[in-house]
Structure 1
């Protein structure tokens, strides 16, 4: 990616990262996400606009699509403290952290919460829709 991104970064081609997750789950396990590519592009001198969680505009847009419910009745569910929990907190909604996602092998969740100053309101081992 460095070889691909370097010429664009040198020409100051703007980059839009629409999913800032740094790790994503795939059929073969965790892999780097678009957020890591955006970080690389920035490290090469390019400018990046990040769109999506944890940034408030995505929450505002989603809530508007849902008819602007009272935020006290909304829960942001996800497996990332950095994006889902921090984003939900920033948007003023409750948060539920799914522990079986990208954090499944994280030995010290309390340390992670402390390092990001983001603490979920709820945790659940799994999240799935009923059959």
Structure 2
């Protein structure tokens, strides 16, 4: 992989036969949270017809089954992909198996940050939600007010929790996502704040390799292409697990790429410290 190059491709068909397995980010590549992109759906259709394995991956805190249900409602049924790996499902699996917080007895007293009720797997994870952080054994962050561009209102809560030695589990390392061309906050900013204040944080999701363990056990590294719209989570993840990557520039980094010349694009990659193998504006066939 050439450092800070990122070869331009106009469509995936140009390189499709170089790979047997695809790890494809959902938000910003396949859909925008409300509708599936027609061009991306066409890509999935063509990959399936060529016998490729497609792993959809997302930092969404819902379970894989719930993500599949939502996608089916948008017209993307399971015949378009092999499986879905979500941050929510991975967090549930790690809690349920005892790999996460193994020293604590269940049910775990949990202070939940989830302003819109996305977390539907509390009972499955054997958690007991408590209203006061002083009685909690951990903080679990799922979703926050999207319009809150500074997490400072959480400082008093977090300082109290840190004094008690309470760890913070962040079930979505994303800091922001693009929603209707507007940046919306995600709980990754809370994880950063908690860490900056001196607290212990466990982040479950991209770019952390734990999200890819099952996939990497199925395929050779050189047979995999990871497709995403974020240098921070997707392309960094590809670097961590040693696979080629394709950056879709119309998603998370759209503002940065909109005015960027080719030279400035290379500077952008250098600033982030990672570079994709390939670059395209939209995922299309």
Q: Give the TM-score normalised by structure 2.
A: 0.41
What residue ranges of structure 1 are gaps of 5+ in the alignment?
none
Alignment partners' CA distance in 1, 2:238 and 2:232: 10
How many residues of Structure 1 are paired with residues of Structure 2 in the alignment? 126
Alignment partners' CA distance in 1, 2:194 and 2:249: 30
Alignment partners' CA distance in 2, 1:34 and 1:97: 23
Residue number among 49, 52, 58 corresponding to 2:205 in the alignment: 52
TM-aligned CA deviation for residue 109 of structure 1: 3.0
TM-aligned CA deviation for residue 54 of structure 1: 1.5
Alignment partners' CA distance in 2, 1:4 and 1:28: 31
**Is 1:114–2:267 an aligned residue pair?**
no
Matched with 1:29 is 182
Q: Give the TM-score normalised by structure 1.
A: 0.83
What residue ranges of structure 2 are gaps of 5+ in the alignment?
1-153
Alignment partners' CA distance in 1, 2:165 and 2:179: 32
Change (3 A) 1:111 1:6: same
Matched with 1:87 is 237
Alignment partners' CA distance in 1, 2:214 and 2:269: 26
TM-aligned CA deviation for residue 20 of structure 1: 1.3
Report which stretch shifted further, 23-32 or 94-103: 23-32
Residue number among 34, 41, 45 corresponding to 2:194 in the alignment: 41
Matched with 2:214 is 61
Tell me which structure has the larger Cα radius of gyration.
2
> Are the aligned partners of 1:10 and 1:45 in contact in 2 as well (CA < 8 Å)?
no
Alignment partners' CA distance in 1, 2:220 and 2:235: 18
Matched with 1:124 is 280
SS of corresponding position for 1:60 = helix
TM-aligned CA deviation for residue 47 of structure 1: 0.8
Deviations 1:18-40 (A, max 9, x none): 32122212246112222211011
Structure 1 consecutive aligned stretches of length 4 or more whose deviation exceeds 4 Å:
none
TM-aligned CA deviation for residue 123 of structure 1: 1.3
SS of corresponding position for 2:232 = helix
Matched with 1:71 is 221
Change (3 A) 1:12 1:85: same
